[in-house]
């Protein structure tokens, strides 16, 4: 299948391109800079020069593909919506896979699936109208699919790095927020990449939580990271206010208590995460 990918030079994108090629697909990837073009080309994808604001480029690239996987992070909802519209117009009846995120559920109050109610922190509240518009295309002959990744780990994970290396590091300990009892719905980047490939054959209007099924607490993750970087398991608690001062609004997302199941993707797509011990990965550094 001919697949057009946005965000291909990023953390998730590189894993997704590699997975697509392993499964025999051909890939064209959006590249907004020379460096990004070299990155996707080195992976085996053909670069398409442009950014998310280049709607004509997005539309044309999607029109020449059989499926689109939209991974690029938009700066705001209007930008993401415009890009999604351009690509869905271009791909027509082909599969369009849009990226959301599990943070939109807020605190889940136990183990939940994709049908849990939304209660997003301010950081991701803009996603609702975008995703509603994406899914509405199913009623007009489109094949929209949404993947909502959990908190990623594995490889060169910059988001995890930001959290664990900024707050509290000066004290020789790894920080967590509050009592650290909040659960994190983790997923390994390589498992998530396989889910995106599997989503190409999903039914129109499908939504999948991209989670590994293991939901450790923030304190457990902090302790494992501390061991992994040679701090002997030392951790320190931050108040939410301290974390906000260090990190901004993303601190509210890291403070969420989330437990999600990958059961739907397993049942409908046969997707089975291979990485089931995230704490061991963190402890290895």
Nearest to 6 by CA among 65, 56, 73, 77: 73
Per-residue pLDDT, 75: 80
> Can you tell me the distance from the alpha carbon of 215 to that of 204, in angstroms, rounded to the nearest whole number?
29
Answer yes or no: are the C-beta atoms of 228 and 282 closer than 8 Å.
yes
Give the pLDDT of residue 172: 84
- How far apart, in whole angstroms, are the C-alpha atoms of residue 166 and residue 161? 8
Question: For residue 142, what is the domain's CATH number?
Answer: 3.40.50.720
CB 96 within 8 A of CB 68: yes
Asked whether residue 97 is assigned to any structural domain, the reply reads yes
Is 217 part of a structural domain of the chain?
no
pLDDT at 160: 72
pLDDT of the residue at 158: 63
Q: For the chain, report the end-to-end CA distance as a whole number of angstroms.
A: 37
pLDDT of the residue at 134: 98
Residue 22 lies in a domain: yes
Pairing of strands 259-260, 111-112: parallel
Tokens of 74: 């938009």
The CB density around residue 281, as the number of other CB atoms within 10 Å, is: 17
Alpha carbon distance 36, 34 (integer Å):
5
| Residue from 227, 117, 131, 98 nearest 174 by CA | 227
> Residue 285, SS3?
coil
- pTM, full prediction: 0.96
* pLDDT for the residue 247: 86
CA pair distance 202, 138, nearest whole angstrom: 12
Domain count, the chain: 1
Rounded distance between C-alpha atoms, residue 155 and residue 64, angstroms: 32
Q: Is position 78 within any domain?
A: yes
The reply to whether 204 falls in a domain is: yes
Tell me, yes or no, whether 234 lies in a domain. Answer: no
Instruction: For residue 280, tell me if it sits in a domain.
Output: no
Q: Is residue 162 part of a domain?
A: no
**SS3 annotation, 65-117:** CCEEEECCCCCCHHHHHHHHHHHHHHHCCCEEEEECCHHHHCCCCCEECCCCC
Torsion angle defined by CA atoms of residues 163, 168, 169 and 170, in that order, rounded to the nearest 10 degrees: 150
**Domain range holding 197?**
2-153+186-211+260-266
Cα dihedral angle (227, 230, 233, 236), rounded to 10 degrees?
-120
Mean pLDDT per segment of 10 residues, for the chain of length 285 residues?
97 97 98 97 98 97 98 93 98 98 97 98 95 98 98 82 63 90 97 98 98 97 92 93 90 96 98 96 89
Sheet hosting strand 67-70, strand order edge to edge:
46-49, 26-31, 2-6, 67-70, 95-99, 143-149, 206-210
Bridge-partner residues for 207, per DSSP?
146
- pLDDT value, residue 165: 63
**Residue (of 151, 157, 174) closest to 243 by Cα position:** 174
Answer for the pair 204, 270: CB distance below 8 angstroms, yes or no. Answer: no
């Amino acid at each position: 299948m001919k697949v057009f990918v946005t965000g291909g030079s990023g953390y998730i994108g590189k894993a997704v391109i590699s997975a697509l090629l392993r499964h025999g697909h051909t890939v064209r990837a959006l590249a907004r800079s020379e460096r990004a073009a070299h990155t996707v080309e080195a992976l085996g994808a053909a670069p398409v020069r442009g950014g998310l604001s280049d709607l004509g480029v997005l539309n044309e690239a999607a029109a020449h593909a059989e499926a689109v996987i939209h991974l690029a992070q938009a700066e705001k909802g209007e930008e993401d919506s415009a890009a999604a519209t351009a690509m869905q117009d271009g791909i027509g009846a082909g599969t369009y896979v849009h990226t959301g995120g599990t943070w939109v559920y807020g605190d889940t109050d136990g183990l939940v699936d994709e049908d849990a109610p939304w209660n997003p922190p301010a950081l991701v509240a803009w996603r609702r109208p975008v995703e509603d518009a994406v899914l509405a295309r199913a009623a007009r002959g489109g094949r929209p699919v949404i993947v909502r990744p959990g908190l990623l780990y594995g490889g060169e994970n910059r988001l995890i790095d930001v959290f664990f290396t900024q707050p509290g590091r000066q004290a020789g300990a790894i920080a967590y927020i509050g009592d650290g009892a909040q659960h994190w719905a983790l997923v390994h980047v390589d498992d998530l990449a396989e889910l995106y490939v599997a989503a190409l054959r999903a039914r129109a209007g499908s939504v999948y939580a991209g989670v590994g099924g293991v939901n450790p607490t923030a304190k457990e993750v902090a302790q494992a990271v501390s061991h992994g970087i040679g701090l002997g398991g030392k951790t320190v608690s931050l108040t939410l206010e301290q974390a906000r001062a260090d990190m901004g609004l993303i601190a509210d997302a890291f403070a969420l208590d989330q437990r999600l199941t990958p059961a739907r993707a397993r049942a409908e797509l046969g997707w089975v995460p291979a990485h089931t011990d995230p704490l061991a990965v963190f402890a290895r550094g």
